[in-house]
Structure 1
Amino acid sequence: MTKTLLKSSPTNRLDAIVEGLFHASNMALKHADMPLSRMPEYFMAVHVAQHIAKSFANFGYRLEASVKQTLSDAGVDESEIDDLLKIDDLRGNGRFDLVLRTDKRGMPAHVMEFKRGSRSAHLAKDLIRLAHVTKTVHAGARLETNYLVFTTKKSQERLLLMLQAAEAERRFNHPRARGQVSCTLKRYHPIPHWAKDDDSRTARHMAVAVFEVRYKS
């Protein structure tokens, strides 16, 4: 029986991200004998990309996508791109972990960054980077909603406190962006985990989490 492909929506995109992470976790346990939290970040990105491409009618993807090329493909003027690439927080000479692209014209639709672990400083930098993208390109559906995806030992409460602190820092350092971009914890689900070198595999807390970075129209 042919599977009916989904049309993208804010809710089922988030569901598909988590489903891709669960699949990655199962593959890591089965084939690498390791919990997902100790696999490379690229491993998560590949499984999420493949799952989304198989689930939706309107998405392709690019892994390790050039920041400059992504902005250009999204319709940002070349002169504006040159100015944006000078912003340290955007890391314009680098790459995005995963960019979902619409199937018809290959237009960039959503940027995803992946992190193994949840050090507050590291997550804050990626949230600020995604906020720059969201604020810069928000015409129609182009890059107006982006995602930070990560494994974490933190509770939901600690993540929310971290998010509040990151938002306060971003608004202080970038006052013109105040009120234009929202960052929200949208998904949080436990996954199997045990301590390194623990032959008894005693269960420890670990979760996958998704922050949504969205332009507020």
Structure 2
Amino acid sequence: MPEYFMAVHVAQHVAKSFANFGYRLEASVKQTLADAGVDDDEIDDLMGNDDLRGNGRFDLVLRTGKKGTPAHVLEFKRGSRSAHLLKDLIRLAYVTRTVHAGARLETNYLVFTTKKSEERLLTMLQEQEAERRRNHPRARSQVAYSLKRYHPIRHWAKDDNNRNPLHMAVAVFEVSYKS
């Protein structure tokens, strides 16, 4: 699974580079919220929420070293299929909304590979947001995200012995929730 491969490499890098961070791979949503200080009764209420997908797992949760408190959630995706990208951003924003004020999970990150140009990627998200506002007028402007990094990577077709370059990039979005 490419997503797991990306998560493992990022986790290893964080562990080697920052003595004050640990991590948990494939962390339970429920356990992550409990570790972040969300009350058990509130967690039970949240488990059925479609935006959070509470019975699922997060690809990678960075944790503070001393107490092991969740600090950031990172989700990894291969590709930027238009049907899923905004939903993933909403899920990560919802985590921020769910934890109590002052909790460490103020920002989360979506990391993915894409063949789209930076401009096309941002245009696609604007179109998805416009459609979401039409379908859910009360939900507008709640998800705050910004493209923090767009890094082209070397890529070529599988059987191309000449390795003619094709466009591919890694995009990193920082996600939060606006009230």
Q: Give the TM-score taking structure 2 as reference length.
A: 0.91
Among 58, 61, 67, the residue aligned to 2:23 = 61
Among 102, 105, 112, the residue aligned to 2:64 = 102
Cα RMSD (Å) of the superposition?
A: 1.9
Matched, 1:88 2:55: no
Kept after mapping to 2: 8 A contact 1:74/1:108: yes
Describe how 1:8-19 pairs up with structure 2 within 5 A. Answer: none
Kept after mapping to 2: 8 A contact 1:145/1:213: yes
Describe how 1:34-45 pairs up with structure 2 within 5 A. Answer: 40-45=2-7
Matched, 1:127 2:89: yes
CA shift for structure 1 position 179: 4.2
In structure 2, list runs of 5 or more residues that go unmatched: none
Describe how 1:111-122 pairs up with structure 2 within 5 A. Answer: 111-122=73-84
Instruction: Point out the structure with the larger helix share.
Output: 1
Partner in structure 2 of residue 166 of structure 1: 128
- The AA in structure 1 aligned to 2:113 is T
Pick closer, same or farther for the CA change 1:83–1:170 going to 2, 3 Å: farther
Deviates more, 1:55-64 or 1:94-103: 55-64
Instruction: Point out the structure with the larger strand share.
Output: 2
Among 27, 40, 44, the residue aligned to 1:78 = 40
Q: Give the TM-score taking structure 1 as reference length.
A: 0.76
1:58-103 deviations in Å (ceiling 9; x for gaps)? 2100000000000010011111111111112211111000000000
Inter-partner Cα distance in structure 2 for 1:137 and 1:72: 9
Inter-partner Cα distance in structure 1 for 2:42 and 2:61: 20
1:96-119 deviations in Å (ceiling 9; x for gaps)? 000000001000010000001111
Percent sequence identity over aligned pairs: 83
